[in-house]
Structure 1
């Protein structure tokens, strides 16, 4: 694994949180605060309104009652200590007892130096050290090429994996291959039809219920070349197993190729068929029965009008109501085969054996399944507490809404190749990987999204991916221009930077804190939001130079100031690159 530089100094926000904590400890020593005052809810963070200062703390609000005083009185004592710190320019009490801090310019110049020192590792964290997280995403049925319905979840999962790794976690990227269901038999029959077509048979229109896409033609042709006419007229029972295996393998090759177009590669491909052959569902059932979490019972009749063919049947039921579900769930069907839930339960049990936390990225159409799977993992977690030193297995499901494809505001027609949908490969080929990936992260995954081919390639402020990449391209162009004029970035002259330049540093310095917050919340879209705001701040400063030459990055006749501003530009560019890397998007040098 590559070695990373992680600063021994605390992040800026953590450093000032430690300073506030030290003040509270001093107040305890003085008797102004009772010993052991609970500080868990004390926060040090940027205020919502930047005009209030650089940081704010609620320490006096949280601890006043414990200290048997009013918040403002306690805040005065805290402020008296904080004002002695040379890194704090001012500490002011606001409202009922909040404390706003303004940091010295030296703090921001030091942060600029830290960005330069750490480079690509600026913002990297040890937050998740020692925690192995399994992220399962995409997991599309292996019945055809990737389509845009899969794209958003794929990008969200992949960006989340990169984010968690950057925050110190060990991450396993997993794809669950649903190769044991009836849809795989349909795939095999569809391939057999294309196999017969490749042998010269006129198959006519594709029968209802089979997959019609042209993507199956090459599979049929390959099988015809290898097997000849051996299975053309053979009974289904003779060819189905082999055609099923060959078809799934071909589709997974196709899916992996499509995912690679987006820069997505998984570590593990877990097969549902192998899971069942290994007896994992039966092992899960036995374990759950041992812990009285599965019992034999009869399901309630369906709500509303009972179907004529419904009969009460005794089935093995998982006690999901014990964990918040609205009814217990069958893990086997009446014929003894596993239900989707039974197989999924065993699959999550398998994942939990080698991970400290589980995350699933699902389409919003699976929302109804969330409660029961969470119940299952809660059960497995409860049973595994002893083995894990009493620690439960954290499990999170992220639901991702579908994307509506538009072209100039009009719905996009389906792909001829797929037969039923727009392929991911077609979209990436038209607009590029970076546009697709960044756009998928410009909204929260649970929010509806439109992907308009015209708008996502627009060169305007309204197009986030262009706006962010243009900021980086502008920085690169400025650095090239400086080099051509014999001016290099200089850290020695950063004292020349004024309030407007340091405001850019303050914006960039939010990156390490944002990374940790986004990782904890499992929300990679926060990175895209941050980058847009940073790009906006950079463009705003750049535009000052359009009217006032003295505000430009390269100032005629002032090499020292130019060097300082180029150093600032280089570090803003570094933070943009670091953020784009988490999203899997290239930081372009020119546009």
Structure 2
């Protein structure tokens, strides 16, 4: 049930009837007709812009359209009031039975309440994390992992066919550095002093890799030149790092559907295939680039390169794909990878990158536009930095990682549920402060606790009902006389519950899972407010002496719990049944 969609359908039907009656001309585009909550709740429950958006194409005054539309809407049993405001906005107030029906629907549909078919099975690839396989994941990866996983869950809930994907950067120079770093730990495992030169990875996490190399190779690699052991150690160390990354992701509750290897894509000839496809479109040419704007770098040298004409697809400058020495640039494997994704039949692509990848946005969008002939949109979401605090001070770096705080550090101190929720309390492109003390405190200022506490209170109500001998299963609650839900505070909570299906679609359309976290906090606030009013007005308490009255009021609380549970499910957070 999506009440806002239902009332919009009523508005569209009424406008269609007006066309049939000659009150509006044929051929009007009603796509931009919306039904939304009014800016001021005092004006009603919903508002529609129908008269405002149709007035000009219809050649009529907005108020004239709004008054005729109001008369038709007022004839529907769900509409208690339809009032024209200002130049032609139409405010609607719904009958209380409508809000009571929302409670019934939430109980009947359970955690599927709010689930949408908006996506219509469109195939979406969400690529996120994609950390270099050179060490444990750090806190920046944590935010990207949570955001990407929640976005994928949100899109799934909204009816899209979602694939979660991790791109393994296992073909660049960084994996050679990993191999050399692991080799030093292998030497250490064989009783020699490791030589962790500048540029190598110093973290203790490579000590077990060195020990595993010794268990596998003994001391046979010690006297060999690098050329003899580099490839084997690189593969061995990369596999070990990927195992560690999978374990880190599992700590956070993240499971990928696909791991794509840069090395495998490069070896498959995809780079050459993609470049030739672009060449066939007239988008690859030999040329020189202008020097960067501003101060000319001292090492700038004008030289002919193989370039992708990305400016033809919205980029600021054309991009090199092959260096003057004939080797591929870093951009070339990215082209091949996105060519591969397009060929796998995805209808939409979403990449989640760290803030330091902002320079890649336009070039990647350009190449996907070119390779898909504009068919496949690419949305790139950048996640901003996370600053960690403990006791009011910046959280110290991890010795195990060598240079950064790891995902494991964060999850082991705060827990996966807290970590995930907090990472979604800011929009992805806004910086986030993560204070270990604040995220674990039990107060309204801690959104994780506040939402979990609301769900725990609902569970407590169900337990108290059972102790009082009142049946409180969903089927019984759904069959209760819900007209008992009539107080403004109760109706207010039901109204907030009714917003959930609309919120899901808005958040999914905008690729904004943080909206779910914000909404859950607001819903929890309304539930807590009703609970607190019950301390003063006993008629508002959920458990009453009369079983029938209790069941109606418990139905309201339970429906809020259903939505909180569904929302937390999207965020990847386990709902709390009791607080300790």
TM range (shorter): over 0.9
Give the 3-state SS of the residue equivalent to 1:188 in structure 2.
helix
Is the 1:553–1:562 contact (alpha carbons within 8 Å) kept by the matching residues of 2? yes
Separation (CA, whole Å) in 2 of partners of 1:54 and 1:265 = 41
Is the 1:32–1:67 contact (alpha carbons within 8 Å) kept by the matching residues of 2? no
Match of 1:477 in 2: 460
Q: CA deviation at 1:336?
A: 2.3
Query: Which one of the candidate residues 311, 318, 325 is aligned to 2:308?
Result: 318
Is the 1:195–1:223 contact (alpha carbons within 8 Å) kept by the matching residues of 2? yes
Q: Is 1:432 aligned to residue 418 of structure 2?
A: no
Q: CA deviation at 1:550?
A: 2.3
Query: Which one of the candidate residues 553, 574, 580 is aligned to 1:586?
Result: 574
Q: CA deviation at 1:26?
A: 1.1
Is the 1:297–1:317 contact (alpha carbons within 8 Å) kept by the matching residues of 2? yes
Q: Normalization by structure 1: what TM-score? A: 0.95
Unaligned runs of 5+ in 1: 1-9, 386-391
Mark the CA change 1:274 to 1:82 in structure 2 (over 3 Å): closer, same or farther. same
Q: Is 1:265 aligned to residue 255 of structure 2?
A: yes
Is the 2:102–2:497 contact (alpha carbons within 8 Å) kept by the matching residues of 1? no
Matched ranges for 1:405-424 at <5 A: 405-424=388-407
Q: Is 1:527 aligned to residue 516 of structure 2?
A: yes
Matched ranges for 1:116-135 at <5 A: 116-135=107-126
Separation (CA, whole Å) in 2 of partners of 1:311 and 1:500 = 71
Q: CA deviation at 1:332?
A: 1.5
Q: Is 1:87 aligned to residue 87 of structure 2?
A: no
Separation (CA, whole Å) in 1 of partners of 2:512 and 2:296 = 43
Give the 3-state SS of the residue equivalent to 2:440 in structure 1.
coil
Is the 1:179–1:273 contact (alpha carbons within 8 Å) kept by the matching residues of 2? yes
Mark the CA change 1:126 to 1:307 in structure 2 (over 3 Å): closer, same or farther. closer
Q: Is 1:161 aligned to residue 152 of structure 2?
A: yes
Is the 2:442–2:449 contact (alpha carbons within 8 Å) kept by the matching residues of 1? yes
CA RMSD in angstroms comes to 1.3
Matched ranges for 1:40-59 at <5 A: 40-59=31-50
Mark the CA change 1:563 to 1:230 in structure 2 (over 3 Å): closer, same or farther. same
Separation (CA, whole Å) in 2 of partners of 1:176 and 1:427 = 23
Query: Which one of the candidate residues 527, 540, 554 is aligned to 1:551?
Result: 540
Separation (CA, whole Å) in 1 of partners of 2:46 and 2:112 = 24
Is the 1:331–1:343 contact (alpha carbons within 8 Å) kept by the matching residues of 2? no
Separation (CA, whole Å) in 1 of partners of 2:338 and 2:567 = 31
Match of 1:293 in 2: 283
What CA deviation, in whole Å up to 9, does each residue of 1:351-378 have, x standing for no partner?
A: 1112111000001111111111111111
Is the 1:261–1:428 contact (alpha carbons within 8 Å) kept by the matching residues of 2? yes
Give the 3-state SS of the residue equivalent to 1:325 in structure 2.
coil
Separation (CA, whole Å) in 2 of partners of 1:65 and 1:298 = 51
Match of 1:567 in 2: 555
Mark the CA change 1:30 to 1:304 in structure 2 (over 3 Å): closer, same or farther. closer
Q: Is 1:111 aligned to residue 109 of structure 2?
A: no
Q: Is 1:364 aligned to residue 355 of structure 2?
A: yes
Separation (CA, whole Å) in 2 of partners of 1:375 and 1:484 = 63
Q: CA deviation at 1:95?
A: 1.1
Q: CA deviation at 1:45?
A: 1.4
Q: Is 1:463 aligned to residue 443 of structure 2?
A: no
Separation (CA, whole Å) in 2 of partners of 1:190 and 1:576 = 47
Separation (CA, whole Å) in 2 of partners of 1:66 and 1:332 = 53
Q: CA deviation at 1:107?
A: 1.2
What CA deviation, in whole Å up to 9, does each residue of 1:110-138 have, x standing for no partner?
A: 21111111112111111112310000000
Match of 1:373 in 2: 364
Separation (CA, whole Å) in 1 of partners of 2:154 and 2:378 = 17
Q: Is 1:200 aligned to residue 191 of structure 2?
A: yes
Is the 2:277–2:371 contact (alpha carbons within 8 Å) kept by the matching residues of 1? no
Separation (CA, whole Å) in 2 of partners of 1:210 and 1:508 = 54
What CA deviation, in whole Å up to 9, does each residue of 1:189-217 have, x standing for no partner?
A: 0000000110111226x221110001001
What CA deviation, in whole Å up to 9, does each residue of 1:479-517 have, x standing for no partner?
A: 101110112333322111113212111101111111111
Is the 2:203–2:400 contact (alpha carbons within 8 Å) kept by the matching residues of 1? yes
Q: Normalization by structure 2: what TM-score? A: 0.97
Q: Is 1:36 aligned to residue 27 of structure 2?
A: yes
Match of 2:327 in 1: 337
Match of 2:68 in 1: 77
Query: Which one of the candidate residues 229, 232, 241 is aligned to 1:239?
Result: 229
Separation (CA, whole Å) in 2 of partners of 1:327 and 1:96 = 47
Match of 2:181 in 1: 190
Which of 488-497 and 274-283 deviates more? 488-497
Is the 1:128–1:169 contact (alpha carbons within 8 Å) kept by the matching residues of 2? yes
Separation (CA, whole Å) in 2 of partners of 1:181 and 1:417 = 24
Q: CA deviation at 1:307?
A: 5.0
Mark the CA change 1:282 to 1:14 in structure 2 (over 3 Å): closer, same or farther. same
Is the 1:153–1:362 contact (alpha carbons within 8 Å) kept by the matching residues of 2? yes
Give the 3-state SS of the residue equivalent to 2:285 in structure 1.
strand
Match of 1:16 in 2: 7
Match of 1:248 in 2: 238
Unaligned runs of 5+ in 2: none
Q: CA deviation at 1:247?
A: 0.7
By relative contact order (CA 8 Å, sep 6+), the higher-ranking structure is 2
Q: Is 1:542 aligned to residue 525 of structure 2?
A: no
Q: CA deviation at 1:559?
A: 2.2
Separation (CA, whole Å) in 1 of partners of 2:515 and 2:481 = 33
Query: Which one of the candidate residues 252, 271, 289 is aligned to 1:281?
Result: 271
Separation (CA, whole Å) in 2 of partners of 1:540 and 1:94 = 31
Q: CA deviation at 1:100?
A: 0.6
Q: CA deviation at 1:295?
A: 0.6
Separation (CA, whole Å) in 2 of partners of 1:271 and 1:172 = 16
Separation (CA, whole Å) in 1 of partners of 2:54 and 2:400 = 65
Separation (CA, whole Å) in 1 of partners of 2:553 and 2:418 = 30
Is the 2:133–2:169 contact (alpha carbons within 8 Å) kept by the matching residues of 1? yes
Match of 2:497 in 1: 508
Q: CA deviation at 1:308?
A: 5.4
Number of equivalent positions:
572
Which of 484-493 and 267-276 deviates more? 484-493
Q: CA deviation at 1:306?
A: 4.6
